[in-house]
Amino acid sequence: MDVMHGKSTNLLFGINLYLACRILISEPVPKLSIITINYNNATGLQRTMQSVFEQQFTHYEYIVIDGGSTDGSRECIVRNAGKLAYWVSEKDKGIYPAMNKGITASKGDYLLFLNSGDYFAGPNVCSQLLENISTKTDIVYGNVDVVLPDLSKTQFIAPQNLTIDYMLAGTLFHPATLIRKRLFDEYGLYDERLKIVSDWAFFFKVIVSGNAACEYKNMIVSVYHKDGISSKLENQRVIKEEREKVIQANLPTVVSKLLAERDELQKQAALKDLELRSRKLLFTRLLKRLYEDATRLYKK
């Protein structure tokens, strides 16, 4: 236990030293905007806020957007108002208008949505997410522990490469994803006409159509409670319809990207086939030479 504790302490020291060195050499540490959306989930909100306040990384601002809760959430926010860069508690038109409100209020280089009930997997998560990332990186994403509606747990391990094939059916989890603020300036906020898949639509647009520079971090970033609107069975039809609309709107890009991926796969397969044939030819020649050498020795 002492050895493990020592390793953990050394890791934390190294990360903080790295961040300090960036400041000393005038390379600015990216500022992080953490945004929490809440509505009548005071218990979950308190847990989420606590996990934010426990972060060792301090170059962040925290924004809370509450939809006019009546369950004590507002009082929870007021108690912690001194630690918040911005907060509001008022009725809104839904999750995406609330998220857009948070984006508009943010001043960070990167944004991360950690909605009420979700929480960071540990106190060093933000430091590790921002460690060694390129200044050209648009999206940093990792993995999540998922708590299902029946309270059973599973893990979502994100792919290292976000291919169009993956993005057509999959997505990224907000509480495990850093999004560069300028992407919202360039591509617009979340589409409030979409009821369920606007976050996926944004990722699809910036990654597939916009070629956003993405960086994968193989780490558990947060614990995500899958009990929202998109996880309900009765909403699966709406999800399918909304996704199809987005794909249709981006169809030319989708087709060209799929063809490019197919060509790349065929190229890799051809190279692999050529390599196998070369190895087979080399093996045949070697076998023939061994046979000839053995024959000469036998004749002697």
- Give the DSSP per-residue string, 109-154: SEEEE--TT-EESSTTHHHHHHTT--TT--EEEEEEEEE-TTS-EE
Contact 102, 184 (CB under 8 A): no
Percent of the chain with pLDDT over 70: 76
Question: Which of helix, strand or coil describes residue 180?
Answer: strand
Alpha-carbon span 181 to 34, nearest angstrom: 12
Phi-psi region of 213 (alpha: psi -120 to 50; beta: other; left: phi over 0): beta
Q: What letter represents residue 183's amino acid?
A: L
CB count in 10 Å sphere of residue 247: 16
CA 261 to chain CA centroid, Å, is 22
Q: What is the pLDDT of residues 51-92, one digit of tens each?
A: 999 999 999 999 999 999 999 999 999 999 999 999 999 999
Structure-token pair, residue 210: 């916009």
Residue 212 · residue 139 · CB < 8 Å? yes
- CA dist 164 to 54, 130, 260, Å? 36, 25, 10
Which candidate, 165, 48, 66, places its Cα nearest to that of 112?
48
Q: What's the pLDDT at 47?
A: 97
Whether the per-residue pLDDT at 266 is higher than 60: the answer is yes
What was the pLDDT predicted at 163? 87
Calculate mean pLDDT across residues 284-298: 61
Q: Which two tokens stand for residue 279?
A: 């190895």
Q: What is the pLDDT of residues 235-258, one digit of tens each?
A: 888 888 898 888 888 777 777 666
* pLDDT given for residue 185 in this prediction: 96
pTM (two decimals):
0.77
Distance CA 242, CA 214 (A): 24
